[in-house]
């Protein structure tokens, strides 16, 4: 039975759900506060905190207060308010997307209620719903909340005392961004009471922007022009001492190439920046890094953003060609050069004329082949096997290695002169475990690719699958992650999210531990391993009796039964329906 996406329900369904209110919140339906807490994971070993697949940062409230005070002092209150409101708006919209993706079967009322609960989980404010009601089909929306113990107010009052203007700027932006993403139209919250003005608690009311009187009083804080003007004035002052940013576009943008490279981590961004710098030149590039790190993909992108993009990109896996054939493969063969050479054939250098020749696993070349390659790089001329004339080649050589070539030189297995000829512009690619910020982006990219390739509609990932992937060490790097996601797309049922049992079926997981908040709020250790929790412990799905027993024990509360088995409510519902138990 197909799952209903709460943001794509039919008009008839929405009409039946009209005037949904705070009274409709099902405290046992996902996502509960416990579900949200379980999606929060701490990985002390690598210094990362995750909420679902989003990286989080834990910092002192006073640190935020210092930043806020600096912005006000530097930009002025109006500009600082605009900037912080828009930052909050972006955070709220991202959290709404996270809830939709992680709990796709959640009732719209509970999905909306998750926004304030996430603020509560983050220690920012303690929300109390007075009333809210909405109708997605008609576009009507009204929300009224008390917000107790606002950290933003605490810091504002500490810095500036009690004043005449409300001060929960980021929280106003967050609530507006979450509700706008949830409703699909611009929702504006207004703070009608605030502790920063002397009230006992903050009170926020949200409505569609066009239903407020004098909406411009709030809307202009969401416009980037207000804070941008203040920032431009500040940057123009000599005291800042900031050099002007270059106006030119990066080579990738100039060429219009849409790269297949995916990542935002600092090490990934550094490598991407280096290929953009070297792309306009003919310099030889040497990629180093472990197998599966994406060296060939980086080489292809380097070619695509270079002036040679219209010419061929030719790749050679040096380890896959026998020593007796490597010279013929690289430089070509003249007819009659040896038995079986019945016709002349161009080698890889000639085929890459005007373009790029990518030599993967360069360290596997024999000393003889290394000498031939060195001459070709020095002279820019080659001779076919059995030939007597030199052929000029205009080829950019890009090499890749998964071993330390300097160590190979010291061991006498690689020519030093060839190493220095290749090492003109070295670029090191890190293993995936050192660029964990990129894992969520790669997961989504591979899920989209294989969903389209295999015609499968997969409902994202379960929270524990996300935690497992974020904490796994990936000895096979990006290639292994790609294989795991492909396997998950194949294994998961229609409209079912990918779970740990779909991913780790070949003994890949090692000991990988993290911390999550327990029922008492304390951090407790958990193992994000296949087979450590719930049905995956059996190496597959449990029998119908196990589902039935869990359902009876939970008094037919599907959410509670799902938690007992370590499943999401969506998974539990799907399997119960498939087994005829629901």
Confidence of residue 8 (pLDDT cuts 50, 70, 90): very low
Q: Is the alpha carbon torsion for 528, 529, 532, 534 positive or negative?
A: positive
DSSP state of 385: B
3-state class (DSSP) for residue 281? coil
Pick the CATH number of 437-578 from 1.10.260.30, 3.90.1150.10, 1.10.600.10, 1.10.8.60: 1.10.8.60
Element (DSSP H or E) covering residue 193: strand 187-193
550 contact partners, CB below 8 Å, separation of at least 6 = 561, 564, 565
Distance CA 257, CA 271 (A): 17
At 309, list the tokens: 């993009």
3-state class (DSSP) for residue 478? helix
DSSP state of 469: H
pLDDT at 251 over 80: no
Distance CA 153, CA 162 (A): 10
Distance CA 173, CA 360 (A): 50
pLDDT digits (tens, 9 = 90+) for 370-422: 998 999 999 888 888 777 778 899 999 999 999 999 999 999 999 999 999 99
E strands, 416-560, are: 425-428, 513-517, 523-527
Domain boundaries of the chain, sorted by first residue: 11-240, 266-432, 437-578
Give 346's strand partners.
332
Is the distance from CB of 525 to CB of 478 less than 8 angstroms?
A: no
Pairing assessment for the beta strands 345-346 and 332-333 based on DSSP bridges: antiparallel
Task: Kindly report the number of other CB atoms within 10 A of residue 27's CB atom.
Answer: 9
Pairing assessment for the beta strands 202-208 and 140-148 based on DSSP bridges: antiparallel
- Asked if the 11-240 domain carries CATH number 3.30.1380.20, the reply is yes
DSSP state of 541: P
412 contact partners, CB below 8 Å, separation of at least 6 = none
Topology, domain 266-432: Rossmann fold (3.40.50)
Whole-number CA gyration radius for the chain: 29
User: pTM of the predicted model, to two decimals?
Assistant: 0.65
Mean predicted confidence (pLDDT) in 7-16? 35
3-state class (DSSP) for residue 257? coil
pLDDT at 156 over 70: yes
pLDDT digits (tens, 9 = 90+) for 97-142: 888 888 777 777 878 888 888 878 888 889 998 888 888 888 889 9
At 414, list the tokens: 């690689």
Mean predicted confidence (pLDDT) in 496-521? 69
Q: Tell me if domain 11-240 and domain 437-578 are identical in fold.
A: no
DSSP state of 361: S
Confidence of residue 23 (pLDDT cuts 50, 70, 90): low
166 contact partners, CB below 8 Å, separation of at least 6 = 172, 191, 193, 194, 196, 197, 202
pLDDT digits (tens, 9 = 90+) for 451-492: 999 998 888 888 878 888 888 888 899 999 999 999 999 988
């Amino acid at each position: 039975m197909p799952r209903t996406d709460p943001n794509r329900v039919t008009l008839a369904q929405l009409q039946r759900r009209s005037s949904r209110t705070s009274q409709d919140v099902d405290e046992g339906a996902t996502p509960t506060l416990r579900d949200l807490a379980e999606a929060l994971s701490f990985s002390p070993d690598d210094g990362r905190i995750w909420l679902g697949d989003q990286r989080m940062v834990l910092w002192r409230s006073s640190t935020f207060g210092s930043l806020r005070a600096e912005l006000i002092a530097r930009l002025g209150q109006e500009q600082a308010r605009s900037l912080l409101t828009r930052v909050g708006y972006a955070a709220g919209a991202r959290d709404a997307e996270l809830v939709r993706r992680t709990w796709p079967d959640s009732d719209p009322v509970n999905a909306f209620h998750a926004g304030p609960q996430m603020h509560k989980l983050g220690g920012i404010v303690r929300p109390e719903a007075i009333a809210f009601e909405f109708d997605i089909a008609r576009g009507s929306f009204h929300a009224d909340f008390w917000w107790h113990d606002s950290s933003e107010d605490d810091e504002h009052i500490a810095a500036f005392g009690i004043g005449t203007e409300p001060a929960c700027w980021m929280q106003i932006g967050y609530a507006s961004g979450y509700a706008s993403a949830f409703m699909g139209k611009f929702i504006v919250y207004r703070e009608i009471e605030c502790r920063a003005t002397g009230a006992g608690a903050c009170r926020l009311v949200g409505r569609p922007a066009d239903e407020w009187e004098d909406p411009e009083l709030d809307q202009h804080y969401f416009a980037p022009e207000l804070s941008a003007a203040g920032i431009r004035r500040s940057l123009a002052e000599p005291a800042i001492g900031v050099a002007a940013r270059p106006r030119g576009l990066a080579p990738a943008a100039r060429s219009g190439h849409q790269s297949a490279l995916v990542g935002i981590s600092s090490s990934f961004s550094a490598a991407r920046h280096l290929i953009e710098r070297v792309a306009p030149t003919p310099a030889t590039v040497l990629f180093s890094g472990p197998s599966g790190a994406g060296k060939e993909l980086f080489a292809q992108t380097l070619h695509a953003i270079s002036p040679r993009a219209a010419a061929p990109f030719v790749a050679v896996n040096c380890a896959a060609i026998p020593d007796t054939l490597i010279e013929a493969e690289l430089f070509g063969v003249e007819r009659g050069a040896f038995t079986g050479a019945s016709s002349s054939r161009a080698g890889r250098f000639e085929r890459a004329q005007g373009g790029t020749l990518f030599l993967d696993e360069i360290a596997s070349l024999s000393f003889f082949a290394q000498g031939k390659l060195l001459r070709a790089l020095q002279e820019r001329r080659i001779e076919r096997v059995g030939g007597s004339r030199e052929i000029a080649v205009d080829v950019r050589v890009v090499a890749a290695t998964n071993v330390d070539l300097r160590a190979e030189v010291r061991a006498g297995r690689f020519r030093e002169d060839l190493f220095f000829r290749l090492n003109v512009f070295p670029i090191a690619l890190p293993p995936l475990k050192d660029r964990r910020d990129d894992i969520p982006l790669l997961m989504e990219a591979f899920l989209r690719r294989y969903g389209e390739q295999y015609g499968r509609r997969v409902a994202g990932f379960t929270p524990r699958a996300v935690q497992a992937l974020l904490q796994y060490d990936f000895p096979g790097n990006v290639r292994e992650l790609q294989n795991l996601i492909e396997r998950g797309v194949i294994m998961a049922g229609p409209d079912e999210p990918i779970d740990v049992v779909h991913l780790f079926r070949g003994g890949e997981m090692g000991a990988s531990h993290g911390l999550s908040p327990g029922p008492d709020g304390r951090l407790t250790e958990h193992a994000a391993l296949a087979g450590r929790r719930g049905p995956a412990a059996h190496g597959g799905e449990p029998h119908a009796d196990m589902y039935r027993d869990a359902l009876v024990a939970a008094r037919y509360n599907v959410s509670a039964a799902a938690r007992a088995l370590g499943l999401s409510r969506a998974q539990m519902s799907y399997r119960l329906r498939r087994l005829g138990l629901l």
